[in-house]
Structures are given as structure tokens and as C-alpha cells.
């Protein structure tokens, strides 16, 4: 049975207090995110990571403060969430050169990774038997990822101690929606047992 880990937006601008769009308390996820990343590497589990990669004047900045501008420091992934053999996939049409990579980093410009030309294609190409999701922000990008991933008809598990929200109510609503759509929930310890 093949497993896919999906790491949503674990970038400096979201995870750390100095970040442009800091998610309060997200820095406390780092040890768990590191554990999941190391576990994937040690067990040959494919890791797909989404990252915001905005232009200087991106349309998203009409709704959100400027964040994760491509190649700026805040756009980088947190070091503990990176694997050595990784490939970055830009949001454009064309061939996917992802074979042999332990980590596939998919760039996106909206809150929904499925709005890209590449994310769904990567998932279809990998064709996992089950999908494990973690990252930020629970009620926004994680929710969009889970909604789309459930459409593949495979079990989707959300790692409850490896997600972080902007608001508690938003988190409760997002988790309720995920549950009602069929998502499963587990801790990192349960996922890596």
C-alpha cells in the first residue's frame, strides 16, 4: 500500500513570528513537521509540498497582506521540512520532471493548490493508495487541499497535531467539513507508528 504525505505551505512567512503572514503558534509545529518529514525519507514515502510563490503585485494581495513573494526569504520552506532529493514544479503547463525525487515542491499562487496546472497531475501521476495531510492554515489552504484530495477516492488522513489555524472557530468548522466529506484524523505518532 503506497502512502503520500502532503505538506501544505510550511513556509517561513507562515510558521515564524517574523513572517509576513504569521499563523499564531505555528512555530510549535516545527518538531512534528520535522518528524513527519524524516519519517517519509526513512520509509520511502513520497512527499509533496505546496508552497505559495507570489509575484510582487499578485492579485491575492488584494485579500491578504503581501507574503511568500517568489525567492524572498519568507517564501522559503522551513529547513526541517526539506528533503535533499527534491524538485520544484512551477505552476505552468508542460511535462512533469518528478521521477526520482523524494520531495516534489509544487508552487501555487492561490489558496487552492488545485487551481494550479500541476498539483492534480502530480497526485494522479503518483497514484497513492492513501494520503496524509498536514501544514497551515487549517481553515484555508489545508481545507482546500483536503477537499480536492478526497475527490481521488482514496483515504485522506489529516494529522491533527501538525496543522495550525488562524481562528479556533474556523478550525472547528474546517475539521467538521473535512469529517463530513470523509476525511480521517490521526496524530503524527499514530501516522508514524
Which region holds residue 127: left if phi is over 0, alpha if psi is between -120 and 50, else beta? left
pTM: 0.97
**CA Rg value for the chain:** 15
Please write the tens of the pLDDT for every residue from 112-160: 999 999 999 999 999 999 999 999 999 999 999 999 999 999 999 999 9
Residue 165: the pLDDT is 98
Domain range list for the chain: 3-191
For residue 119, CA distances in Å to 79, 82, 92, 113 come to 22, 18, 10, 6
CA–CA distance, 152 with 140 (Å, rounded to integer): 20
For 3-191, CATH number out of 3.30.470.20, 1.10.260.40, 3.40.50.850, 3.30.360.10 equals 3.40.50.850
Q: How far is CA 29 from CA 5, 34, 49, 81, 162, in A?
A: 16, 9, 16, 11, 6
| pLDDT tens figures, 90-119 | 999 998 889 899 999 999 999 999 999 999
Amino acid at each position: 500500500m503506497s502512502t503520500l504525505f502532503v505538506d501544505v505551505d510550511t513556509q517561513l512567512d507562515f510558521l515564524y513570528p517574523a513572517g509576513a503572514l504569521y499563523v499564531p503558534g505555528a512555530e510549535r509545529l516545527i518538531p512534528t513537521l520535522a518528524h513527519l518529514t524524516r519519517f517519509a525519507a526513512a520509509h520511502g514515502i513520497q512527499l509533496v509540498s505546496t508552497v505559495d510563490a507570489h509575484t510582487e503585485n499578485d492579485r491575492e494581495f488584494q485579500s491578504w497582506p503581501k507574503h511568500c513573494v517568489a525567492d524572498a526569504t519568507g517564501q522559503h520552506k522551513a529547513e526541517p521540512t526539506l528533503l535533499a532529493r527534491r524538485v520544484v514544479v512551477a505552476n505552468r503547463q508542460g511535462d512533469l520532471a518528478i521521477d526520482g525525487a523524494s520531495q516534489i515542491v509544487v508552487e501555487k499562487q492561490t489558496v487552492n493548490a488545485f487551481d494550479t496546472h500541476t498539483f492534480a497531475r502530480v497526485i494522479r501521476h503518483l497514484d497513492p493508495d492513501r494520503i496524509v495531510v498536514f501544514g497551515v492554515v487549517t481553515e484555508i489552504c489545508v481545507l482546500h487541499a483536503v477537499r480536492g484530495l478526497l475527490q481521488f477516492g482514496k483515504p485522506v488522513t489529516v494529522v491533527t497535531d501538525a496543522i495550525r489555524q488562524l481562528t479556533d472557530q474556523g478550525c472547528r468548522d474546517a475539521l467538521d467539513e473535512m469529517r463530513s466529506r470523509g476525511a480521517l484524523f490521526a496524530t503524527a505518532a499514530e501516522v508514524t507508528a
